Structure 1
Amino acid sequence: MTKDFPGARRGSPSVRVLDDVDVSVAAGEIYGLIGRSGAGKSTLLRMVNGLETPTSGSVVLDGVDVHALPPKELRTLRHSIGMVFQQFNLWNSRTVFGNVATPLKIAGWKDEAIAPRVAELLDFVGLGGKAFAHPRQLSGGQKQRVGIARAIAGRPSVLLADEATSALDPQTTTEIVDLLRSVNREFGITIVVVTHEMDVIAALADRVSILSDGRVVESGDIHQILATPRHPVTAGLVGAYTGTSLTDGEKSALRAQFPGRRISVVVDAATSGGPVLSRLARLHGVDFAIIQGGVSRVKDKPYGQLSLELHGDDAAIDRFVAELSQTATVTTW
């Protein structure tokens, strides 16, 4: 799929914002789209609900070509797609109850069905006591909770989250991420989340695509992407998240300071089978010094990238590295 926008001036060439993008999202999963500003993430998200039309290619949702639908059927389809925005987009003149109830009224729900549905959702997002408050009386996190309740009010099958945590502080971001995971788990709603924050992707997504300059440069399971980033853009995002990104100059300085054999190890607690480093070091008679690294969390499990200086007999070190490579990603530098 591609998407071109007209040039800034009449007669100027068009600008390609999405270039040969191919992404497949499974029902019931949480899928992340991450990249720097201008990568094309939000444009791709707007293709899903028909707010943008591809220049070529198609968007297929549950077997239906979204952009082949006539306007009336497209409006009906949009009832099955919820949307959460960065700046909340609440109606300031309406109460919390009114904000959540409005899309249900538009969809033709009867009044007697709306009230219990709104009450259920406000309890679910932790705002049961705020039904008659107005948005100006809420914190940013509370506003986003209202936005999520509104987005899932009509029982959509897909929820699109466009930078839903970017306007929030770190603690509130964690709370909103937890809420989105609950939405996915409790209601089985497929979630596609756009963000430039790797920590959000690591905590939330099952699979992820990395976009750069309108192209998908890498896709895969979140653990695989973090363990073995194959593209420089991905490696930069992962390194910034884990605190393990090293410049060539930093590597040179560490080589001078630690002249022994050096390796970098990615250890994923989901697959490593316990304290693999210390166990293998004892087994093969190898000592190691941690010279650089960091530990983060991915889907509630510890995940670490460490740079080690190894000490011991060369053959023992070879055996240690060979066995370690079976359960972790190991690179020598």
Structure 2
Amino acid sequence: MKIALLNDTHFGARNDNPAFIKYFNRFYDEIFFPYLAEHNITNLIHLGDVVDRRKFINYNTAHNFQEKFWKRLWDNKIDTHIILGNHDTYYKNTNSVNFTHLIKTFDGVHEPFIYEKPATINFDGLDILLLPWICPETEEESLHAIDNSNAQIAMGHLEVKGFEMHKGHFNEHGLEISQFNRFEKVLSGHFHRKSDNGTIYYLGTQYEITWSDYRCPKGFHIFDTDTRELTRISNPIRMFRKIVYNDKKENYLKKDIQEFNNTHIKVIVEEKTDVNQFNDFLDRLHNDISTYEVNVIEDSYNINATADVNVLDQGEDTKTFLENYINSLDTELDKGKLVAHMREFYNEVQDK
């Protein structure tokens, strides 16, 4: 049996921005559902963070989710299993109040299967341990399942130390890698950057969501229960593009700009000797194609110019807001150190 794997789809991301709704839909319309149909794949496991906001969902986002994703799974008879992620739950201490209470199958009886607590499920003769987001209510049961399940394969929405969350930012919290030594493979959502250590595989997001995803490989995965092989299906559709402007090296009056259509663009000025040519080029980006944003950066050390403020509006606490802001920065600075300093300053203020 071949099982399609999705994770961190984040429906409603970026303040329910219509441009991102359109961009996400292209992945489902042009890549995901056509691939499933072509290869006759009728099973799906979603590894958590189906939606973006923990506290509420926008009506337009909910409608798009139903029409472009949920109903199509039903119409195509895709056997769907959903492991809850941290963005899918309202409270932080329990998974019991979550977005899936709003979605039922169209006959109200059958799939999808929703997992609020750990469960070992047999897929075509192979036991797989499914691990939703570990919260205080499920921690003891989850750790017991990790230690005692007979499954050799685990899939979940996990927070494991030592893995890269975003470029240059490694996670320092959560479970130890050694806790999963007994498994042959562990496949997880949660971190948006694809990485692995040979046993634990963070699959990364299907598409770009923030500037932190720039040039980070995107796609979804197929897991084969017979061979236990994991295959990545690439998504080449990009939302974020950079142009390093140097008119000593290139004539921008003749530059083909169609590849930048329907994207967010950063124009990083390296050399600008002809102001008229520069202004004409910007006019073409604004008027000759459809761009969502054109941000000119003439000071590469201007952190504010690299930040993605929309990532903040996710219904989280202040400290998480600040961490999201830092993680969204498009910078070569050490984000781990920035986050550590932020936490230190935040705690000092809280103690006063």
Who wins on radius of gyration, i.e. which is larger?
Answer: 1
Q: TM-score, normalised by structure 1?
A: 0.29
Which structure has the higher relative contact order (CA within 8 Å, separation 6+)? 1
